[in-house]
Chain A
């Protein structure tokens, strides 16, 4: 059971917008710790998508955006494409555990 809760799966049609939530608590996201997002294509290593809540590394399209409010963070993907099918992971830090934590991952299916 991950300290950061993500929906196991989300889906959307090509061109649509989807959001993936990452819900934490007052000892992690709510305490002000940063949230990072990674995308993992099948059989490959994770790739950084969003860092420090809202920032995109160079090369990541602006279709991807991150936000953080209270004890939760969200990843939004607009203009959904078939190649967006992947598992998306959020990462933060928990002061009660004194540990870096990941969400359970969300599998995005493009219908």
Chain B
């Protein structure tokens, strides 16, 4: 059974850096085809794809956030870490991590999601 859970601060101040950790079970990021992604959703708004890291260390980032965003993995700990610099109130959102389903095609599809963590950025 695949589970994911996001953890990190619920409140950050403007210009600070956000670090979120996704801790998962039921799969390994050392297995070919596996990936973990991050998606966020501002209150009452649409989903926004942020980044994805694959089993082979390949990464994909949203072009609009590429300069602010870092994604890393720790396979031994079953964790993926997302770092977003220069946080502003517009970055207030629920942040989800999700498991990439190992199927061919574009874009990657996420078949299991964490419960999400709400992050508020104060001005």
Question: Is A111 on the interface with B (CB-CB < 8 A)?
Answer: no
- The answer on a CB contact under 8 Å between A102 and B63 is no
- By a CB distance below 8 angstroms, the chain A residues around B108 are 100
Closest to A50 in B: B109
Minimum distance in angstroms from A46 CB to a CB of chain B: 6
Residue A102 contacts which of B47, B105, B116 (CB distance < 8 angstroms)?
B47
Question: Is B76 on the interface with A (CB-CB < 8 A)?
Answer: no
Closest to A105 in B: B46
Interface residues of B in 8-42 (CB under 8 A from A): 39
In this complex, which of A38, A47, A100 has the most chain B Cβ atoms within 10 angstroms of its Cβ?
A100
Binding site for B on A (CB under 8 A): 2, 33-34, 36, 38, 44-48, 51-52, 57, 89, 91-93, 97-105
Binding site for A on B (CB under 8 A): 39, 46-49, 60, 62-64, 96, 101, 103, 105-116
When A and B form their complex, which 8 residue pairs have the shortest distance between CB atoms, in order from nearest?
Answer: A100-B49, A45-B113, A93-B107, A102-B47, A34-B105, A100-B107, A51-B109, A36-B109
